[in-house]
Structure 1
Amino acid sequence: MKAFIKTIGLSAALMLGAAIPASADAELKLAHAAPESDLQQTLSVFFKEEVEARSNGSIKVSIFPAGQLGNDAQMIDGARSGIIDIAMSGLNNFTGLVPQAGVFELPFIFPTRDIAYKVLDGEIGAGISAEFTQHGLMVLGYPENGYRNITNKRGPIKKPEDLAGLQMRVNNSRALNDMFALFGANPQQIPVAELYTALETGVVDAQDHPVGIVVSFKFNEVQKYLSLTQHAYSPLALVINDQKFKGLSAEEQKIVTEVAKEAIAKQRDLNVSKEEEMIASLEKDGMAVNRDVDAAAFQEKVRPVWDGFIQANGDELVNKIVELGKSQ
């Protein structure tokens, strides 16, 4: 675990894979949009170090954080075409290719992280993952962004009515767009790389992200209030170009898939263990944190959002997830 945590702050030369034996047979370019201070980078460096070590240098991994190779859509396109080998992005960014994956974005569908992990790592997640191959991608797993919470400039969000009239930045998840519109906010889709400036200049008043993203993108500098609504679990997807993966030897494929699984497990653990610490740091820096949220009121009003997904994609996946949750 120490080796995993220490990765933040490694030199650029190490992150870009400078110290690699000349005998490397395969190079994997891994890209994500998060800052180097984010746990997505921690996962990436762990993946790099372990893959290179276990392959005895036959695989070189180069990391490109902070959107160096483009925004989320561009990275996904790059991974599909083979310009990028591995991309990590919010699962919502893949729903244009695999609409069924939007089930994981539905508000309040995952009452606990344990249920989310069982769904994503089990039969349901495997079924969704299989849909990616027709788009040239293989899913290595689903890292964690975390539970989404709301920040804004106006005041605490305790009940759905408190969102009325807010200019709300949203991602491209149809479910979240529908939810905020249903609650009377005015949703606007803005890329995360442009969000700090949009909040600072008043283009939008509010946004929703997991706590780790609020910290790593420093949204607390331009937002006063954090309300722990936990209205949706937000998974990432770690994908590799399918042809690139098939071009690896059987042993190299095993190394890549095993290390990805370990890296995701460790990143999830760190997300959980550091969450309260991050919340405390936000409070220390002057953010007003509100835990007094009427979760039942939010849950009662989001059913039309679920109905919209069901109308477009059927109810099989929703029913399976709900039933699995009841069995826990």
Structure 2
Amino acid sequence: MKLRSVARALLFLGLAATATCAQAGNTFRFGYETSQTDSQHIAAKKFNEILKEKTQGEITLKLFPDSTLGNAQAMISGVRGGTIDMEMSGSNNFTGLAPVINLLDIPFLFRDTAHAHKVLDGKVGDELLKALEPLGLKGLAYWENGWRDVTNSKGPIKTPADLKGLKIRTNNSAMNIAAFKIFGANPIPMPFAEVYTALETRTIDAQEHPINVVWSAKFYEVQKYLTLTHHAYSPLILVMNKKKFDALTPELQQTLVSAAKEAGNYQRQLVAEDQQKILAGMQADGVEIITDPDREAFRNALGDQVRDMYLKDNPESARLLTAIDETH
């Protein structure tokens, strides 16, 4: 009897330990570069709330904003290696691993925001996320960075000629860098966390980000002019370590993906609602806003040069471009 009691006690302790480990394993570390005032952090908290509710606490998130876990490239490496569970950053940060994703950085690819969302939430978006899976990344959802615009400290930018000679911080997208070279600017990729200081010290003259990021990062404090070029739509990709995703039950996997998409839609709405308030806030702070640049001149300056550059390296993706053009 005593042996049976001991065996039962050991079994109970083993099951309890297993349950504790399983529960601890479902607290996922989630990193991103933007500050706690940005819509990305607000939506990340919403994502955590949705997961807690839908899984009854079985999945929770520990949030790391402000590049706490490193810049985008470092975090992506961390997710692939399993030291970070989830990461969210602009699609351009994945193009070195999956060149097909460069497609999203082709300037003037999307007609408007609704068009971009329809493409990303459809078959084309799914195919691009699947390209990350052999790399150890599970794409969960697309969130919103928004339309990229140009700020600078030199003068109003209304046509491509006004960019000539400007030292502008770009992301590391080959498509984006090529576009600004064609415009006559001097593109300088650098990590997001270094941009404010570089602008403040005039190491660079300009940068290009969606205005919600310009606002949350306070770039407007060290930039005099904002031009709504809308030269590219910039989505965020939310990824998870694939092995950890695959280790979850099918039910939890489905819940995780649906919660990521739900929080992404929430964040998209936040970005849309904040646009006019952000513009008014920057204007009140002394920023001159050029709302009507000659976008047709920017399009014409590029022509098909950047698109052709992409197709030269990714000829099999011509069908994806066709699918995007035909999406209504």
Please give the TM-score of this superposition, normalised by the length of structure 1: 0.90
For residue 316 of structure 1, what is the aligned residue in structure 2?
Answer: 319
CA distance in 2 between partners of 1:141 and 1:26 (Å): 19
CA distance in 2 between partners of 1:291 and 1:54 (Å): 43
The letter of the residue matching 1:84 is I
For residue 231 of structure 2, what is the aligned residue in structure 1?
Answer: 231
Q: Assess, with a 3 A threshold, how the Cα gap between structure 1 residues 200 and 24 changes in structure 2: closer, same or farther.
A: same
The letter of the residue matching 1:41 is H
CA distance in 2 between partners of 1:23 and 1:206 (Å): 47
Residues 43-85 of structure 1 show CA distances to partners (whole Å, capped at 9, x for unaligned) of 1101111111221122221011111111110100011111111
CA distance in 2 between partners of 1:127 and 1:56 (Å): 31
Query: Does residue 1:42 correspond to 2:37, yes or no?
Result: no
Could you tell me whether the CA contact under 8 Å between 1:25 and 1:58 is conserved in 2? no
Q: CA RMSD in A?
A: 1.4
CA distance in 2 between partners of 1:265 and 1:74 (Å): 26
CA distance in 1 between partners of 2:274 and 2:141 (Å): 21
For residue 138 of structure 1, what is the aligned residue in structure 2?
Answer: 138
- Greater Cα radius of gyration, structure 1 or 2: 2
Could you tell me whether the CA contact under 8 Å between 1:24 and 1:59 is conserved in 2? no
CA distance in 2 between partners of 1:209 and 1:178 (Å): 16
Aligned residues between the structures:
305
Moved beyond 4 Å, runs of 4+: 22-25
Mapping of 1:187-198 within 5 angstroms?
A: 187-198=187-198
Residues 171-221 of structure 1 show CA distances to partners (whole Å, capped at 9, x for unaligned) of 101111001111111111111100000011111000100000000000011
Could you tell me whether the CA contact under 8 Å between 1:27 and 1:60 is conserved in 2? yes
1:113 deviates by: 0.7
1:24 deviates by: 5.2
1:270 deviates by: 1.1
1:42 deviates by: 1.0
Which segments of 5 or more consecutive residues in structure 1 lack a partner in the other structure?
1-21
The letter of the residue matching 1:309 is Y
Could you tell me whether the CA contact under 8 Å between 1:24 and 1:57 is conserved in 2? no
For residue 288 of structure 2, what is the aligned residue in structure 1?
Answer: 288
1:88 deviates by: 0.3
1:23 deviates by: 5.4
CA distance in 2 between partners of 1:295 and 1:85 (Å): 40
Query: Does residue 1:185 correspond to 2:185, yes or no?
Result: yes
Residues 11-59 of structure 1 show CA distances to partners (whole Å, capped at 9, x for unaligned) of xxxxxxxxxxx95551211110110111110111011111112211222
CA distance in 1 between partners of 2:278 and 2:319 (Å): 37
Equivalent residue of 1:300, what SS? helix
1:146 deviates by: 0.3
For residue 305 of structure 1, what is the aligned residue in structure 2?
Answer: 306
Which segments of 5 or more consecutive residues in structure 2 lack a partner in the other structure?
1-21
1:145 deviates by: 0.2
Mapping of 1:55-134 within 5 angstroms?
A: 55-134=55-134
Could you tell me whether the CA contact under 8 Å between 1:75 and 1:84 is conserved in 2? yes
- Per mean C-alpha deviation after superposition, the further-off stretch among 299-308 and 156-165 is 299-308
Percent sequence identity over matched residues?
A: 42
1:250 deviates by: 2.3
1:292 deviates by: 2.3
Q: Which has the higher helix share?
A: 2
For residue 274 of structure 2, what is the aligned residue in structure 1?
Answer: 274
- Per mean C-alpha deviation after superposition, the further-off stretch among 196-205 and 242-251 is 242-251
Q: Assess, with a 3 A threshold, how the Cα gap between structure 1 residues 58 and 24 changes in structure 2: closer, same or farther.
A: farther
The letter of the residue matching 2:314 is N
Equivalent residue of 1:145, what SS? strand
1:319 deviates by: 2.1
Could you tell me whether the CA contact under 8 Å between 1:24 and 1:60 is conserved in 2? no
The letter of the residue matching 2:125 is G
CA distance in 2 between partners of 1:229 and 1:158 (Å): 8
For residue 246 of structure 1, what is the aligned residue in structure 2?
Answer: 246
CA distance in 1 between partners of 2:134 and 2:173 (Å): 21
Residues 138-196 of structure 1 show CA distances to partners (whole Å, capped at 9, x for unaligned) of 11111010000000011111111110010111110111100111111111111110000
- Per mean C-alpha deviation after superposition, the further-off stretch among 80-89 and 315-324 is 315-324
CA distance in 2 between partners of 1:142 and 1:119 (Å): 11
Could you tell me whether the CA contact under 8 Å between 1:157 and 1:227 is conserved in 2? yes
CA distance in 2 between partners of 1:174 and 1:308 (Å): 9
The letter of the residue matching 2:51 is V
